[in-house]
Amino acid sequence: MMNFLDIHTTSAADLRSMMNSAHAMKTARKDRPKGTPDDDQPLSGRMVALIFEKPSTRTRVSFDVGVRQLGGQTMVLSGKEMQLGHGETIADTARVLSRYVDLIMIRTFEEQTLLEMAEYATVPVINGLTNRSHPCQIMADVMTYEEHRGPIAGKKVVWAGDGNNVCTSFIHAAGQFGFDFTFTGPETLEPEATAIRFAREKGVRITMDRDPAHAVQGADLVVTDTWVSMHDPESAKERRHNQLRGYQVNETLMAQAKPDALFMHCLPAHRNDEATSAVMDGPHSVVFDEAENRLHAQKAVMRWCLGL
Ligand code: CP
Ligand code: NVA
């Protein structure tokens, strides 16, 4: 039984084997209606709880569809409607859920909630986003890069904007998959130091560059995300927009990257804030492939967690 809590706490070999499994499952389903089961039904007879303490479109639907394609069943639970949101401890919730279900996916606020769930559950726990990280997203993003351009190892990835949870998982992935990573954004919104240290210790280059036009020179992949995350206070919005306006990914910025550079955004996007519609819908963009690949990557993650 394995938990999938973060990219940096999962071995590089296991991440690579999940990536291979995701590609294989996607290929095996090519042109098949989405509601049909996979040939392989490893989750047959298994029940998966999907807990959301924050909103979600992609994570919710891709996990739900993925479990069903693998032959399992799901229940989608909103944190607010559970006793968890009304004072029951995380530890007790974990112990109880483990008596009913075979796997727990949770999207929550504090990382500590996820860690406690994993500590007290006797079934695997998957991180579906915390304030700190979003590992399932980055599994889909690495898969998407490699499906379009081949191995990501040795490539240059540039993140423009807020050094948030998705950015942190990208930096973990730089260390584990062996690519260089440049953050371009204001100093106050730089990504966390421990993630940077982790990746540097793995031998990749992690660079901070205040100048977006300079940062994207030679980029193989340009990535951004919302300027205000779900856990950020609404009051931060105006200041963030003022701080980040200069880091918008637009056609002028993309033109500084390599001609065949890809553009990614985990979505949901605020079009014409962090990225223009011309870029989102333009020739470099693979944003909807990323969204699709959540499905395939997470199926691989669930199989790995359950040893199936
Ligand atoms: N990218 C992502 O996790 O999207 P949702 O918030 O819609 O799940
Ligand atoms: N950084 C964003 C990602 C949403 C999928 C957030 O946490 O709101």
Ligand 1, atom 3, lies closest to the CA of 59
The average confidence (pLDDT) of the chain is 97
Give the ligand 1 atom nearest the CA of 266: 1
pLDDT digits (tens, 9 = 90+) for 229-246: 999 999 999 999 999 999
Residue 109 Cα, ligand 2 centroid: separation in angstroms?
A: 11
Residue 266 Cβ inside 6 Å of ligand 2? The answer reads yes
More confident residue, 85 or 283: 283
Ligand 1, atom 7, lies closest to the CA of 57
Residue 225 Cβ inside 6 Å of ligand 2? The answer reads yes
Predicted local distance difference test score (pLDDT) of residue 139: 98
Share of the chain above pLDDT 90, in %: 97
Residue 270 Cα, ligand 1 centroid: separation in angstroms?
A: 13
Residue 230 Cβ inside 6 Å of ligand 2? The answer reads yes
Query: Which of 8, 29, 58, 107 does the annotation list as catalytic?
Result: 107
Predicted local distance difference test score (pLDDT) of residue 85: 84
Ligand 1 neighbours, Cβ below 6 Å, are 56-59, 129, 137, 266-268
Residue 123 has pLDDT above 90, yes or no: yes
The secondary structure of the chain, three-state, reads: CCCECCCCCCCHHHHHHHHHHHHHHHHHCCCCCCCCCCCCCCCCCCEEEEEECCCCCHHHHHHHHHHHHCCCEEEEEEHHHCHHHHCCCHHHHHHHHHHHCCEEEEECCCHHHHHHHHHHCCCCEEECCCCCCCHHHHHHHHHHHHHHHCCCCCCEEEEECCCCHHHHHHHHHHHHHCCEEEEECCHHHCCCHHHHHHHHHCCCCEEECCCHHHHCCCCCEEEECCCCCCCCCHHHHHHHHHHHHHHCECHHHHCCCCCCCEEEECCCCCECCCECHHHHCCCCECHHHHHHHHHHHHHHHHHHHHCC
pLDDT digits (tens, 9 = 90+) for 11-62: 999 999 999 999 999 999 999 999 999 999 999 999 999 999 999 999 999 9
Angle at 92 between CA 74 and CA 124, to 5 degrees: 45
pLDDT digits (tens, 9 = 90+) for 197-211: 999 999 999 999 999
Counting ligands in written order, the one closest to the CA of 135 is 1
Residue 93 Cα, ligand 2 centroid: separation in angstroms?
A: 25
CB 216 within 8 A of CB 222: yes
Ligand 1, atom 2, lies closest to the CA of 58
> C-alpha 13: how far from its chain's center?
19
Annotated active-site residue 243? The verdict is no
Rounded CA gap, 251 and 254, in Å?
A: 5
Annotated active-site residue 107? The verdict is yes
Q: What is the pTM (predicted TM-score) of this model?
A: 0.98
Rounded CA gap, 289 and 277, in Å?
A: 16
Annotated active-site residue 92? The verdict is no
Give the ligand 1 atom nearest the CA of 267: 1
Contacts of 43 by beta carbon, 8 Å cutoff, 6+ apart: 67, 70, 71, 72, 102, 302, 306, 308
Annotated active-site residue 137? The verdict is yes
Structure confidence at residue 1 as a pLDDT band (50, 70, 90):
confident
pLDDT digits (tens, 9 = 90+) for 89-117: 999 999 999 999 999 999 999 999 999 99
Give the ligand 2 atom nearest the CA of 225: 1
Residue 305 Cα, ligand 2 centroid: separation in angstroms?
A: 24
pLDDT digits (tens, 9 = 90+) for 254-296: 999 999 999 999 999 999 999 999 999 999 999 999 999 999 9
What's at 257, amino acid-wise? A
Predicted local distance difference test score (pLDDT) of residue 303: 98
